[in-house]
Structure 1
Amino acid sequence: MIAPALDRRFIGFLLAGGINTLFGYGVFGGLVLLGVLPHVALIVSTVAGVLFNFLTASAVFKSRDIRRLPRFLAVYAVMLGFNMVLLDLVMRAGLGPLLAQAAILPFFTLTFLAMRRFVFVASPEQTS
């Protein structure tokens, strides 16, 4: 059974992630519809959402410690790399950029695990 605190945190992360996803996908979709290349639109939408995402994820994990920002950015850089590779693969399989990006979004629920493990890991004083 999952601990209630983890369960609440995961549900909060999914809600915040939903808002973040709508924002990021909205920027991505708007740029693609304006004629921006999909990979460029992906980079711009990721950069546009990172600081907003840091605030919402910080609220979920109850830590607004700015010293966590470099690790947060590193996780997003890795996720952006995965996203670019997956976007390319799915587009090569025949989907357009908007549908391809929508199809791979569920993969990024793994971001929660990366954030919990590498960014918002409890410090020793929080666990005692």
Structure 2
Amino acid sequence: MTMRALDPRFIGFLIAGGINTLFGYAVFSGLVLVGVLPHAAVVVSTVSGVLFNFLTIGTVFRSRDPRRLPRFLLVYAAILGLNMALLDLGMRAALSPLLAQAVILPVFALTFLVMRRFVFAASPEQTS
């Protein structure tokens, strides 16, 4: 029995996701450290990274087709909602906003599955 190799897109997604996560967390941290409320900082950091993320993740899935952007934005809206809820839970559990956000970041690795199946699954030509 041989182990199936990892999907190369998953490895690329992890690399692109790591860069995107560092960018988003840096924006979030910088805003919190200058006094912006944590929930506002999450919104700003998410919005500021979405188009950049579309380009990097689109590269991983070999498609930067702008017709995919609405689904991509929908996924990020769901991620933003989940992020806000988990951040709130972490802060209610007496974690600082920076620690709470750092603790919940690994949950968003699941985004790969959503991106692969919902955003980049088939070309728009195949779905129309």
Q: TM-score, normalised by structure 2?
A: 0.92
Question: Hey, what does 1:104 align to over in structure 2?
Answer: 104
CA distance in 2, matches of 1:125, 1:41: 37
CA distance in 2, matches of 1:124, 1:79: 23
RMSD: 1.6
Q: How does 1:29-108 map to 2 (within 5 A)?
A: 29-108=29-108
CA distance in 2, matches of 1:69, 1:122: 14
Structure 1 gaps of 5+ residues are none
Percent identity reads 77
Question: Hey, what does 1:20 align to over in structure 2?
Answer: 20
Structure 2 gaps of 5+ residues are none
| Aligned residue identity for 1:50 | V
Runs of 4+ in 1 over 2 A off after TM superposition: 122-126
CA distance in 1, matches of 2:37, 2:88: 12
Aligned residues: 124
Secondary structure, counterpart of 1:26 in structure 2:
helix
CA distance in 2, matches of 1:123, 1:66: 11
Q: TM-score, normalised by structure 1?
A: 0.92
CA distance in 2, matches of 1:55, 1:124: 17
